[in-house]
Amino acid sequence: MLIARVIGELVATHKHPSHEGAKILLVQPLNLDGSNRGDAVVALDAVDAGVGDQVLVTTEGFSAMTAVGRTQSPIDMAVIGFIDHVELVPGVA
């Protein structure tokens, strides 16, 4: 799973039939301190997130398909929750 920030929405004129009606988001993975981590990725939205929201992204195909209710769909990543805040506790691994 990834912590990420929604940085945009994608519009596709052609997409897999199982993706019809689904919102596709561009999300920027984040480090625990909130800084950017790597390149932005594409994920289907299961929670109606919007630009600027900090979200939880599942990166495993079966979990992503199940989260958006589209089993047997070609989905690798899905936004599955909102993150209100991240609290780091010193000394806890």
Domain ranges of the chain: 2-82
Q: Tell me the pTM.
A: 0.84
Task: Taking the CA atoms of 9, 30, 34 and 57 in sequence, report the sign of the dihedral they define.
Answer: positive
Task: Report DSSP state, residue 23.
Answer: -
The answer for residues whose C-beta is within 8 angstroms of residue 47's C-beta and 6 or more apart is 55, 79, 80, 81, 82
Q: Tell me: domain 2-82, CATH 2.40.50.220, correct?
A: yes
DSSP string, 71-82: TTS--S-EEEEE
The model's pLDDT over 46-78, given as tens digits with 9 standing for 90+, comes to 899 999 999 999 987 777 777 777 677 778 899
The model's pLDDT over 12-59, given as tens digits with 9 standing for 90+, comes to 888 777 777 788 999 999 998 889 999 999 999 989 999 999 999 998
